[in-house]
């Protein structure tokens, strides 16, 4: 698509929206302006291509398409079949999977599909069929207890939240924690890395039905061959949630023991993050689970989103191009350059560095909580998110960490030199920020003090750093 065509497309779209609700059009334009001006370091965010974005805004949004390709509960789905089949084909080829299910609306939905597929495949249960027939929100805690008991109190072993795991891997605030009796494996307190012997010991003791690998804030590779061996040793289904690092798998940065697809029974992912597609989810599996996975709708999913599946097909096609591998490698190179820059300036990093797309800073070395650091950086034009660190004394709300990632800035074209400059800006803000006090004069975990002149100076430097790397240069909203 030419630069002029992309500008015309987005300008025209905003003009149409403005004719109905101008405040929405203004917010859309403001979001583009904000993203262009900010150093976006949120590890789970990226920038989808104009083609991917435009694929979502069309008449597919109007179509109901429950079921699967060729087997719909609604008539007139021939065009939906085309885009869903294309998205699945690209996913299979990109990841070397025998089956791909591209309907999940999010990573959480993809995990739910996987959990119920495993249960349905492994456990014959009248209670399970009853739960599938009811609205999940109608089930009481007593219902869930009875269901777990009838299912044999099925167990899940996954990475702990403070070690870098995800809420959907069996934790109580999420529905996965109501479905399963869950236990966590952590990391070595001395290194912050996974201790596979301890994981194996926990699996032998706990005997889970599902062993989950994958993370949202673990800055190292995972050896999936070893994890599969652990799962096999206790008869567990091995599931990998690769939502964060799917782009590194697609780009062949993670191969061999570090590619989850050849080793896992089932793999879930989002399609945004490092994969650089639309917001959505996906499940990859072998033929033994394919039929159960394809029942995701209506088992746990609402109606598929055909417009998002169309965008997934476009993004996955983009990821199959040769230049995507170079992009994926640059993500890791940039993360390591950013980590090195922070370490040279005295920052404390969980595990002492990174092998992937993210870096986790322990900001307690600056005398701050994660919440204080997050807000001070945001004041200075640097967008991050607070995150727990192993054995975090501040818990999951205030935290002691800041998680930063490089997929988005790598998409813009920034390289190692800019990562070092970014490290300097982060260090400047954190070293110049001090904890604040509450109304009673007591120390606060949320309030902080940062000289507005420092924030303004860093914000200007951040904007200058981004100037040579315009975001969506082909899109001029006028």
Q: Name the active-site residue from 279, 330, 386, 412.
A: 279
**What one-character-per-residue DSSP string does 249-268 give?**
HHTTSS-GGG-STTT-SEEE
SS3 214: strand
In a domain, 34, yes or no: no
266 beta partners: 239, 285
Where does the pLDDT of residue 182 fall: very low under 50, low under 70, confident under 90, or very high at 90 and above? confident
Q: Is-catalytic flag, 74?
A: no
Q: Which residue has the tokens 């996913």?
A: 91
Q: Name the active-site residue from 178, 273, 295, 312.
A: 273
Q: Is-catalytic flag, 241?
A: yes
Q: Is-catalytic flag, 428?
A: no
What's the pTM?
0.91
Q: Do 172 and 247 fall into the same domain?
A: yes
Task: Tell me how crowded residue 5 is: count the other CB atoms within 10 A of its CB.
Answer: 12
The dihedral over CA atoms of 310, 312, 313, 319, expressed in degrees to the nearest 10, equals 150
Q: Check residue 23 and report its DSSP letter.
A: H
Convert the pLDDT of each residue in 80-110 to its tens digit.
Answer: 999 999 999 999 999 999 999 999 999 999 9
Domain boundary among 259, 291, 319: 319
Helix or strand run (H / E) with residue 378: helix 370-379
Q: Do 311 and 351 fall into the same domain?
A: no
Q: Is-catalytic flag, 229?
A: no
Q: Do 135 and 98 fall into the same domain?
A: yes
Q: Do 271 and 172 fall into the same domain?
A: yes
Q: Do 301 and 332 fall into the same domain?
A: no
pLDDT at 288 exceeding the cut of 60: yes
Number of domains in the chain: 2
Q: Name the active-site residue from 109, 162, 241, 374.
A: 241
Structure tokens at 424: 């300097």
Q: Do 137 and 251 fall into the same domain?
A: yes
pLDDT given at position 439? 84
**What does the angle CA 350 – CA 414 – CA 374 come to, to the nearest 5 degrees?**
45
Q: Which residue has the higher pLDDT, 141 or 204?
A: 204
Q: Name the active-site residue from 45, 66, 188, 333.
A: 66
Q: Do 223 and 353 fall into the same domain?
A: no
Q: Do 306 and 378 fall into the same domain?
A: no
pLDDT, mean over the chain = 92
Q: Is-catalytic flag, 273?
A: yes
Q: What is the CATH number of the domain that holds 279?
A: 3.40.640.10
SS3 270: strand
Q: Do 278 and 329 fall into the same domain?
A: no
Where does the pLDDT of residue 227 fall: very low under 50, low under 70, confident under 90, or very high at 90 and above? very high
Convert the pLDDT of each residue in 337-394 to its tens digit.
Answer: 999 999 999 999 999 999 999 999 999 999 999 999 999 999 999 999 999 999 899 9
Calpha distance 223→200 (Å, rounded): 13
- What's 297-339 look like in SS3? HHHCCCCCCHHHHHHHHHHHHHHCCHHHHHHHHHHHHHHHHHH
Q: Is-catalytic flag, 279?
A: yes
pLDDT given at position 443? 86
pLDDT given at position 151? 59
Q: Which residue has the tokens 């399970």?
A: 128
Which residues constitute the domain of residue 135?
59-319
pLDDT given at position 179? 78
CB 189 within 8 A of CB 390: yes
Q: Name the active-site residue from 36, 37, 63, 64.
A: 64
pLDDT given at position 126? 55
Q: Do 270 and 369 fall into the same domain?
A: no
Q: Name the active-site residue from 52, 168, 268, 270.
A: 270
In a domain, 447, yes or no: yes
pLDDT given at position 165? 81
Domain boundary among 296, 319, 342: 319
Domain boundary among 294, 319, 344: 319
Convert the pLDDT of each residue in 117-171 to its tens digit.
Answer: 998 877 655 555 555 555 555 667 777 677 666 655 588 999 988 877 877 776 6
Structure tokens at 457: 């100076």
């Amino acid at each position: 698509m030419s630069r002029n065509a992309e500008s015309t497309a987005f300008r025209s779209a905003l003009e149409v929206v403005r004719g109905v609700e101008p405040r929405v059009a203004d917010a859309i334009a403001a979001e583009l302006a904000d993203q262009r001006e900010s150093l976006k370091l949120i590890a789970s965010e990226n920038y989808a291509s104009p083609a991917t974005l435009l694929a979502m805004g069309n008449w597919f949004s109007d179509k109901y398409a429950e079921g699967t390709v060729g087997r719909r509960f609604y008539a007139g789905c021939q065009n939906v079949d085309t885009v869903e089949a294309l998205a699945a084909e690209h996913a299979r080829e990109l990841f070397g999977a025998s089956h791909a299910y591209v309907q999940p609306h999010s990573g959480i939905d993809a995990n739910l599909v996987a959990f119920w597929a495993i249960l349905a495949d492994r456990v014959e249960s009248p209670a399970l069929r009853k739960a599938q027939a009811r609205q999940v929100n109608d089930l009481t805690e007593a219902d869930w207890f009875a269901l777990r008991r009838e299912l044999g109190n099925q167990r899940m072993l996954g990475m702990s939240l403070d070690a870098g795991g995800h809420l959907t891997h069996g934790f109580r605030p999420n529905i996965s924690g109501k479905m399963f009796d869950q236990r966590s494996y952590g990391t070595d307190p001395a290194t912050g890395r996974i201790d596979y012997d301890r994981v194996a010991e926990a699996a032998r003791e706990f005997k889970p039905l599902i062993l989950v690998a994958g993370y949202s804030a673990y800055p190292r590779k995972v050896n999936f061959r070893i994890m599969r061996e652990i799962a096999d040793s206790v008869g567990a289904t091995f599931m990998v949630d690769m939502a964060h690092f799917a782009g590194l798998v697609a780009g062949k940065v993670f191969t061999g023991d570090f590619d989850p697809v050849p080793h896992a029974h089932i793999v879930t992912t989002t399609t945004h993050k490092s994969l650089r597609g639309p917001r959505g989810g996906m499940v990859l599996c072998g033929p033994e689970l394919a039929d159960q996975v394809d029942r995701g709708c209506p088992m746990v999913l609402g109606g598929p989103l055909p417009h998002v599946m169309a965008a997934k097909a476009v993004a996955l096609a983009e990821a199959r191009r040769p230049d995507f591998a170079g992009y994926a490698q640059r993500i890791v190179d940039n993360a390591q350059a950013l980590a090195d820059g922070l370490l040279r300036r005295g920052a404390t990093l969980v595990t002492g560095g990174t092998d992937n797309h993210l870096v986790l800073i322990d900001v307690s070395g600056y005398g701050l909580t994660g919440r204080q650091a997050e807000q001070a950086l945001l004041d200075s034009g640097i967008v991050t998110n607070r995150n727990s660190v192993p054995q975090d004394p501040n818990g999951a709300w205030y935290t002691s960490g800041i998680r930063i990632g490089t997929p988005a800035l790598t998409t813009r074209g920034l390289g190692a030199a800019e990562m070092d400059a970014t490290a300097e800006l982060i260090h400047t803000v954190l070293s110049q920020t001090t904890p604040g006090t509450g109304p009673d004069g007591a120390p606060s975990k949320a309030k902080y003090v940062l000289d507005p002149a420092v924030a303004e100076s860093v914000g200007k430097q951040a904007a200058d750093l981004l100037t040579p790397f315009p975001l969506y240069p082909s899109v001029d909203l006028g």
